[in-house]
Homo-oligomer: A and B are copies of this chain.
Amino acid sequence: MAAGAGAPEEVRLIDQHCHSVLTAELDDTELAALLTESDRPPAPGTTAFDSALGLAVRRWCPPALGLPAHAPAADYLARRRELGAPEAARRLLAAAGLDTCLLDTGLTAAAGRPLLTPERFGVLAGARVREVVRLETIAESLAVGAAAWPSAVREAVGAAVEAGAVGVKSVLAYRYGLDIPGERPGRLQVLAAAGARLGAGGGRLTDPVLLRHLLGVALEVCAETRRPLQLHTGFGDPDLTLHRADPSLLTDFIRVAEPSGVPLVLLHGYPYHRQAGWLAQVFPHVYADLGLTASYAGPQVSAVLGELLESAPFGKVMFSTDGYGLPELHLVGAAQFRHGLGALLAAWRRDGACSAAEAARLTRLIATDNARRVYGL
C-alpha cells in the first residue's frame, strides 16, 4: 500500500523488547502452548491456533518455510518438523528483517528447555543483540541476609548494567500490580520486609515494599548510567490481574521519577494502550511500546495501532515483537507491525489526514529512530 522510501516493508527494525528462542524440536502441543498468554492446557475442544494470533501465525509464517499463506496448521507443523527446528528458526528470524534486538534475558527457558544464548540468537537472526536485564530476576538470585539485601541489590543491578545492558526491565505488574505509592519505602521498612521474605524461604519476590525498593534502585542506576527503564503494563499471562496492570496506576511513580530524567518505557499496555499513549504525551520521560499487542491483535492490528497513535506522540512510540520461545513470534511481530502500520497510514493518506512524507517519517521514527535515540544505539 504505502510505497516509496520509508514504507514499513522496507525498513530493518529495531526490536526494543524481545526474548530468545528455542531450537529444540517441540511437539504440537508444546508449540501451541507458546501461542497464547495462558499457561494452562487449552479448554476442551479448543486450540490456540483458533485466535487472532493464530491467524497471524498462519498468515506470515508458512511463506517463510515455503508453504502458501494460511496453509493448515497441521501442514505447517509437518513442514517445520521436516526442516528441523534450527533451520525453521533461521528462516523465520531472517524473514523478520530485524536490525537490532534488545533481549530481555530475565527468562532463560521456554517449554521447559533453555533458550538460545543472546549470541546464538543474534547469529540466527542476523541481528545485532543488546541485553536488557530484569530487575526482579537479579534480586531473586541474591543469596545474602536481610541487612545486606538493600546494598546487595544496588550493587547487583549496577553490575548487571555495567556488564553491558542497554536497559533495565521491571515486571512489577506480575509480581504485585502497578497500584503502588510512587515514593521509595524507608530503609527500616525495606529491612523488615527483606527479613520477612528470607524467613519465609526467599523465592519469588512479591512484597510491594521490596518491589518499590527495587524500582527506586533501578531509577538510581538508570539515572547514573543513562539507561531507560522498561515496565510491563497491560495484558500478560494469568499471573497478573488485568485491571491492576493499567499503566495509569503508575502515575505517582512516574511523577516521582520525572526529575531523574530516566526514560520510562511502558511495554504492551493493551487494553490500556490509550492510557499509555496519554502518559507518553504529557510526561516527557514516558514512552510507549505496542509489543505483544500488535501480534496478538492479529487481523485487528491497524485498529489497535491507530488507537495508540491517537494520544501517543509519534516521537514516543517504539516497535517491539516481545517474541519469546518461538521464532514465529518474532516474524509475526515484525510482519504485523509492517503490515498494520502500512495499512493504517495508507488509510490516513486516502482520507487526506497525512502526506506521504509524513507517513514515511512517522514509520522511521517508530521502526528505528526513536529506539536509537532513547537507548543510545
Which A residues lie at the B interface, using CB under 8 A?
36-48, 50-52, 55-56, 58-59, 69-70, 235, 237-238, 241-243, 246, 248-249, 251-252, 255, 270-271, 274-275, 278-279, 281-285, 296-300, 303-304, 306-307, 309-316, 343, 347-348, 351-355, 358, 361-362, 365, 373
Contact = CB atoms under 8 A, between A and B. Distances in A.
A46 B351 contact: no
A251 B243 CA distance: 9
Closest A-B pairs by Cβ, 4 of them = A46-B315, A299-B353, A271-B274, A238-B282
A354 B53 CA distance: 11
B282 A362 contact: no
B300 A306 contact: yes
Number of copies: 3
17 contacts: A37-B281, A38-B281, A40-B284, A43-B285, A46-B313, A50-B314, A51-B281, A52-B311, A69-B352, A243-B248, A243-B251, A243-B275, A298-B353, A299-B348, A299-B354, A303-B306, A304-B310
Nearest to A362: B50
Contacts of A271: 274-275, 278, 311
B354 A316 contact: no
A304, A315, A343, most chain B CB atoms within 10 A: A315
Contact of A297 (B235, B310, B352): B310
A46 B251 contact: no
A40 B282 contact: yes
Contacts of A249: 243
B50 A283 contact: no
Contacts of A52: 309-311
Contact of A270 (B43, B44, B274): B274
Contact of A41 (B42, B284, B298): B284
A55 B351 CA distance: 12
A20 to B, nearest CB: 23
A68 to B, nearest CB: 10
A283 B38 contact: yes
A131 to B, nearest CB: 24
Contacts of A355: 70
Contacts of A56: 353
A351 B344 CA distance: 12
Contact of A282 (B37, B45, B365): B37
Contacts of A311: 52, 235, 270-271, 296
A354 to B, nearest CB: 5
B358 A70 contact: yes
Interface centre among A300, A311, A353, by most chain B C-beta atoms within 10 angstroms, is A353
